């Protein structure tokens, strides 16, 4: 039985995004495991709120960066939490600062969910520039992939002895699983991609790849963001506007359940929640070899990896997967390794280690 009785998770908000979804899913996972769980946010957002179980206590700090760091410090002084964890780089900076302000002995765990080149805002950048300090101030640092951990040490002088790699928890029980190879082959020739509409996702490359595929192939990209207008123009200029759908942010499980193939075209992904979601749905995955997806797919054992930015290779991989989507069973089994209970146990083992170190 775990010696951990109470945990707090700090994340700026529950806006659309992989790290934000992880915060909500982990909070619920700890609660289900019988641990008193508090989720601390700067501001309320609805997009991932549905993943937070009713029994999780939610604290809204309700201010700007400086004010919320002070409020977080006050909460640390008052709380009896065994461990407090920050989700993603900006939150890690603020939690470390709050602990210093509070002069608290509460163990803290920080985490990195993205590579330095794709983090947003000043605090995100600062988390990498100060990694050498933050990893020393915290009791443990979690990276969501082995590759991210290696880069944090090699490029940002983080303290490797305090770093542990734990992949993201994925609620795979929500998947609309393909029954078998015949089920996938019988579906319309539809490709699905999921993620924010931002430049690093390189959906323009995916749209160009679509022009190299048969005219009956359709592409749906679930997500929203600043690149929407540019992507609409790219589809129109490529002559495939009628074959591309951009429905905005939506829960992806039904879209996986209707597609024949999943595509990821990113320049950089530290992990890739959507890759696991697609595998859990039984879909063949065609992804750029951009970091985390390569680890999930074990170098190509569980999906197809293509070079970043190689539109022709991306199109070839998608064409092959559409023609022969294969048996979903191995992919579904691979995704099970990322199920929430398994990942919660790995976090609890880390928490027990840091608490024992404070005893």
pLDDT at 50: 83
Helical H segments across the chain, by residue range: 18-32, 65-78, 89-102, 121-129, 131-137, 146-156, 181-186, 203-210, 228-237, 253-258, 273-280, 292-296, 311-323, 329-335, 340-358
Q: Is 281 contained in some domain? A: yes
pLDDT at 1: 54
Residue 34: both structure tokens together: 């019988």
Place of tokens 């696991």: 276
- In this structure, what CATH number is given to the domain that contains residue 113? 3.40.50.2000
Burial class from Cβ neighbours inside 10 Å (0-12, 13-18, 19+) for residue 82 reads buried
Cα 140 to Cα 252: distance, rounded to the nearest angstrom = 32
pLDDT at 156: 93
**Residue 10: enclosing H or E segment and its boundaries?**
strand 6-10
Counting the structural domains of the chain, the total is 2
pLDDT at 117: 59
Residue 155: both structure tokens together: 């490029």
CA angle, 320 as apex, 261 and 308 as ends, to 5°?
Answer: 75
Residue 263 neighbours by CB under 8 Å, 6+ apart: 191, 192, 193, 206, 209, 219, 285, 286, 287, 314, 318
Whether residues 156 and 52 share a domain: the answer is: yes
Whether residues 203 and 288 share a domain: the answer is: yes
Whether residues 42 and 86 share a domain: the answer is: yes
**Residue 219: enclosing H or E segment and its boundaries?**
strand 218-222
Whether residues 20 and 160 share a domain: the answer is: yes
Cα 152 to Cα 116: distance, rounded to the nearest angstrom = 9
Whether residues 20 and 76 share a domain: the answer is: yes
Whether residues 197 and 299 share a domain: the answer is: yes
Task: Please give the average pLDDT of every successive group of 10 residues along the chain, which has 359 residues.
Answer: 88 86 96 97 84 94 90 94 95 96 96 75 85 96 96 95 97 96 98 96 98 99 97 98 96 96 97 97 98 97 98 99 98 98 98 89
Whether residues 324 and 179 share a domain: the answer is: yes
Whether residues 45 and 178 share a domain: the answer is: no
Whether residues 304 and 354 share a domain: the answer is: no
Q: Are 291 and 344 in contact (CB under 8 A)?
A: no
Cα 210 to Cα 180: distance, rounded to the nearest angstrom = 26
Residue 318 neighbours by CB under 8 Å, 6+ apart: 191, 209, 213, 217, 261, 263, 286
DSSP 268-321: -BSS-HHHHHHHHTT--EEEE--BHHHHHTGGGTSSEEE-TT-HHHHHHHHHHH
Residue 333 neighbours by CB under 8 Å, 6+ apart: none
Nearest of 47, 130, 54 to residue 90 by alpha carbon: 130
Q: Is 1 contained in some domain? A: no
Cβ-based neighbour number of residue 310 at 10 Å: 16
Cα 272 to Cα 111: distance, rounded to the nearest angstrom = 16
> Which 3 state secondary structure label does DSSP give 163?
strand
pLDDT at 120: 66
Cα 15 to Cα 21: distance, rounded to the nearest angstrom = 8
Domain that holds residue 278: 172-337
pLDDT at 357: 84
> Which of the 8 DSSP states describes residue 167?
P
């Amino acid at each position: 039985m775990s010696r951990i009785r109470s945990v707090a998770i700090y994340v700026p908000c529950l806006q659309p995004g992989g790290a934000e979804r992880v915060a909500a899913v982990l909070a619920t996972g700890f609660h289900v495991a019988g641990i008193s769980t508090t989720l601390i946010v700067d501001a309320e957002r609805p997009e991932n709120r549905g993943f937070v179980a009713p029994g999780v206590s939610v604290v809204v700090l309700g201010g700007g960066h400086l004010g919320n760091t002070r409020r977080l410090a006050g909460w640390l002084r008052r709380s009896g939490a065994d461990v407090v964890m920050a989700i993603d780089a900006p939150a890690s900076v603020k939690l470390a600062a709050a602990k210093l302000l509070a002069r608290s002995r509460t163990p803290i765990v920080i985490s990195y969910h993205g590579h330095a080149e794709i983090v947003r805002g000043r605090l995100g950048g600062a988390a990498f520039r100060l990694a050498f300090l933050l990893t020393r101030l915290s009791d443990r640092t979690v990276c969501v992939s082995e590759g991210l951990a290696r880069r944090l040490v090699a490029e940002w002088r983080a303290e490797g002895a305090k770093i542990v790699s734990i992949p993201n928890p994925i609620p795979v029980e929500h998947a609309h699983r393909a029954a078998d190879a015949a089920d996938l082959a019988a579906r319309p020739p539809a490709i699905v991609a999921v993620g924010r509409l931002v430049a690093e996702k390189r959906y323009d490359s995916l749209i160009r790849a679509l022009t190299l595929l048969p005219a009956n192939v359709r592409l749906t990209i679930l997500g929203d963001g600043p690149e929407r207008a540019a992507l609409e123009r790219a589809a129109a200029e490529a002559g495939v506007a009628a074959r591309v759908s951009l429905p905005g942010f939506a829960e992806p499980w039904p879209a996986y359940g209707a597609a024949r193939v999943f595509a990821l075209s990113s320049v950089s992904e530290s992990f890739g929640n959507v890759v696991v979601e697609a595998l859990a749905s039984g879909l063949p995955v065609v992804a750029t070899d951009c970091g985390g997806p390569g680890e999930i797919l074990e170098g190509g054992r569980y999906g197809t990896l293509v070079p970043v930015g190689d539109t022709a290779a991306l199109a070839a991989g998608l064409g092959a997967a559409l023609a022969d989507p294969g048996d979903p069973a191995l992919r579904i089994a691979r995704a099970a390794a990322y199920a929430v209970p398994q990942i919660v146990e790995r976090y609890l083992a880390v928490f027990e280690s840091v608490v024992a170190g404070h005893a």
